[in-house]
Amino acid sequence: MAVPLPAFDRNRALALLRAGVGDLRVGFRPGQEEAIEHVVTGAGRLLVVQKTGWGKSFVYFVATKMLREADMGPALLVSPLLALMRNQIAAAGRMGVRAETINSTGTKSRPPFGATRSTSC
């Protein structure tokens, strides 16, 4: 039995966008609201191709947060640039989205991607 998808709430989406950007005056860019609605309502897969700085990550973060609030599953966002990853993680946190980074540099708690860990028996 399929789980019903949530209805799109424009005001909630705008509040999340504003929280992520950190500016209560910001509004949707042309196409952002429609893209978020597409994901939230389950209209199908979505690939957003826009220039750098347009807010593609916010489309996915806002949609993910709205789906999580409706008890839907997790999302995976792939970003090719480490600098963007750090900014995206910070923006996601401002919206209440728990996000993690997996990359080739590793972290204090995680070795670089592809590195092996020794374990004792």
Residue 28 neighbours by CB distance under 10 Å: 18
Dihedral sign, CA of 73, 66, 57, 84? negative
In a domain, 71, yes or no: yes
| Domain-embedded: residue 59 | yes
Confidence of residue 4 (pLDDT cuts 50, 70, 90): confident
* 85 found inside a domain: yes
**DSSP state at residue 36:** H
pLDDT, one tens digit per residue, over 29-66 is 999 999 999 999 988 888 888 988 888 889 988 998 99
Alpha helices in the chain (DSSP H): 10-21, 32-40, 56-69, 82-95
Rounded Cα gap, residues 65 and 21, in angstroms: 14
Average pLDDT of the chain is 81
Does 69 fall in a domain? Answer: yes
What is the reported pTM?
0.72
d(CA 109, CA 90): 18
- For residue 116, tell me if it sits in a domain: no
User: What are the tokens at 56?
Assistant: 């593609």
Residue 55 belongs to a domain: yes
The parent domain of residue 71 ranges over 10-95
Q: Give the pair of three-digit tokens for residue 36.
A: 């978020």
Which pLDDT belongs to residue 57? Answer: 85
Note whether residue 25 is domain-resident. Answer: yes
First to last CA, the chain: 44
List, in order, residues 6 or more apart from 98 with CB less than 8 Å away: 92
Within-domain flag for 117 = no
Q: How many domains does the chain have?
A: 1
